[in-house]
Amino acid sequence: MTESAALRAEEETAPEPPGRATLVRDVVALQIKLFLDGLRDLVLSPVSIAVGVWSLLRIGPGGGAEFYRLLHLGRRSERWIRLFAAAERLPERTLAGAEDADVDAVVDRIERVIKAEYENRTLSRAARRRLNRLVREVRRADEGAELLGDETTNDARARDARNDAS
């Protein structure tokens, strides 16, 4: 059976859409949920940055726990809001070959590509310098000192300058 024939057969057996009253209710409910979701995002964005920085600056075991507790709170609010719950009234039509990739999967893929290019030295010099600088800044904040492993910040800058010249 072809894809178009399968879609026609699905349309013939698909349940009836909800009535007008249910549709109006769902439209209004979605607007309220969008408002709540946006309000949560408006509050969560600066709070997550502050908590993330705080978690990065904490020294010792358990650093980062605050950030992940905040993520759990965000997840609970997401389950409470259930932004698209009304979509369950009709079955979803999926296209053949449609993937359910989410943003996390895309970020993971980008991270893997950057790491591979960095390790294989195929990353551009400018990008490599920026990544090295960022790693040094994170280490400095994490250690709370000017030492990066066995080298000082000035030693690291001099090494980067030599690498940039070559």
At residue 122, the 3 state secondary structure works out as coil
Specify the pLDDT at position 155.
56
pLDDT at 9 over 80: no
Q: What is the pLDDT of residues 75-120, one digit of tens each?
A: 999 999 999 998 888 877 654 444 566 777 777 888 888 888 878 8
Rounded to the nearest integer, the mean pLDDT of the chain is 76
Specify the pLDDT at position 43.
96
pLDDT at 34 over 90: yes
Residue type, 32: I
- Yes or no: say if 14 and 91 are a contact pair by the CB < 8 Å rule: yes
> Helix 65-81 crosses helix 20-57 at what angle (to 10 degrees)?
180
For residue 40, which of 75, 66, 85 has the smallest C-alpha distance?
75
Specify the pLDDT at position 79.
94
pLDDT at 37 over 70: yes
Token pair, residue 6, equals: 């399968």
| CA separation for the pair 162, 91 (Å, rounded) | 61
